Amino acid sequence: MEKVKHVILISGLSGAGKSTASRILEDMGYHVIDNYPVQLVSLLVDMIETSTDPRYNYIALSTSAQDFPAFLRGLKGQNMEVNVLFLDASDTVLLRRYKSTRRMHPLLLVNTANTLEEAIAVERQMFTRNTNNTFITIDTSYLSEKEFRRKMEQFFSKGAAPAFSLSFVSFGYKYGVPMDADFMVDVRFLPNPFWVVELRPYSGNDKQVYDYVMDKPETKVFIEKLIAFTDYAFDQYYREGKNHFTVAIGCTGGQHRSVAITNFLYDHYKTKYNCYKEHRDEKEWTK
């Protein structure tokens, strides 16, 4: 039996981080190919499948919005495992990045759009027709390069199991919602430790706050209903072929309730799935 070749197709909004993703994957040992002619995709597939060169065991192929559909259709082979990395960012962040770097948007260069705002809107619409929930999506709007690298390593480290994985992210609504969440859980209805003076300086990572949240009758009923839903949903997404699913759990400040519930969900599912957790806004808290 021939060895399975691993291919990552990198695409997404211009300015969302394709170049950075390519550089990170290259550091991880992937053979990165950029600006490959889409008309020759069938030759590339043959080369990947038949080559004995070890560089072709792990390939990362970066492509534009215009060529993405053709690459997606063409990258099919009996001994190839293809994953799509889709990079996104908010329109505001994309505008700021282009203005700070003084680069031209690709759609402006080919006269497909007349303004930067229009170019971003047109490109986003192009992807709307060609995305699905099996893609691994990373929103880079508020990620540092270190955080971006950590996410990439979670998904694409060589030898990492391609099975369904979960990320549980706590956040505070006062700081904005995570843009790449597949499912968002609002826990602001649960009793708030913030109003307990002796608990206020601590977070859901501390036992006294965790126990306060989890021991409440409202939380117990909520957890029972939530787990019944997520057990079913995660199983269905896995059967459908989705690689990764992000659950965002939010409370007012991202310190107490959301952190506690995130810790519970991570502990509950970590023996069944490949799980990650992040407390996005817990670091904002000053004790």
Predicted confidence band at 10 (pLDDT cuts at 50, 70, 90)? very high
Q: How many residues does the chain have?
A: 287
Torsion of CA 158, 164, 167, 173, to 10 degrees: 140
CATH class of 5-156: alpha beta
pLDDT at 159: 58
pLDDT at 287: 40
| 147-169 pLDDT per residue, tens | 898 888 888 887 554 567 899 99
Cα–Cα distance list, 194 to 186, 198, 205, 286 (Å): 16, 9, 14, 13
Cα–Cα distance list, 13 to 36, 106, 227, 284 (Å): 18, 10, 34, 29
Mean pLDDT of 255-272: 95
**Using an 8 Å Cβ cutoff, are 185 and 250 in contact?**
yes
Query: pTM of the entire structure?
Result: 0.65
Comparing 89-103, 121-135, 169-183, 259-273, the range with the smallest average pLDDT is 121-135
SS3 content of the chain, % helix, strand, coil (to 5): 45, 20, 35
Say how far apart CA 77 and CA 281 lie, in whole Å. Answer: 43
- Return the half-sphere exposure (C-beta side, CA atoms, 13 A cut-off) of residue 16: 25
Q: What percent of the chain has pLDDT over 70?
A: 95
* Amino acid letter, residue 122: V
Predicted confidence band at 35 (pLDDT cuts at 50, 70, 90)? confident
**Using an 8 Å Cβ cutoff, are 14 and 142 in contact?**
no
With a cut of 80, say whether residue 30 has pLDDT above it.
Answer: yes
**pLDDT, mean over the chain:** 90
Predicted confidence band at 55 (pLDDT cuts at 50, 70, 90)? confident
| 190-225 pLDDT per residue, tens | 999 999 999 999 999 999 999 999 999 999 999 999
With tokens 């082979």, the residue in question is: 77
**Using an 8 Å Cβ cutoff, are 41 and 75 in contact?**
yes
pLDDT at 153: 85
Enumerate the CATH 3.40.50.300 domain ranges in the chain, comma separated: 5-156
Comparing 154-163, 180-189, 260-269, the range with the smallest average pLDDT is 154-163
Q: What percent of the chain has pLDDT over 90?
A: 63
With a cut of 60, say whether residue 37 has pLDDT above it.
Answer: yes
With a cut of 70, say whether residue 243 has pLDDT above it.
Answer: yes
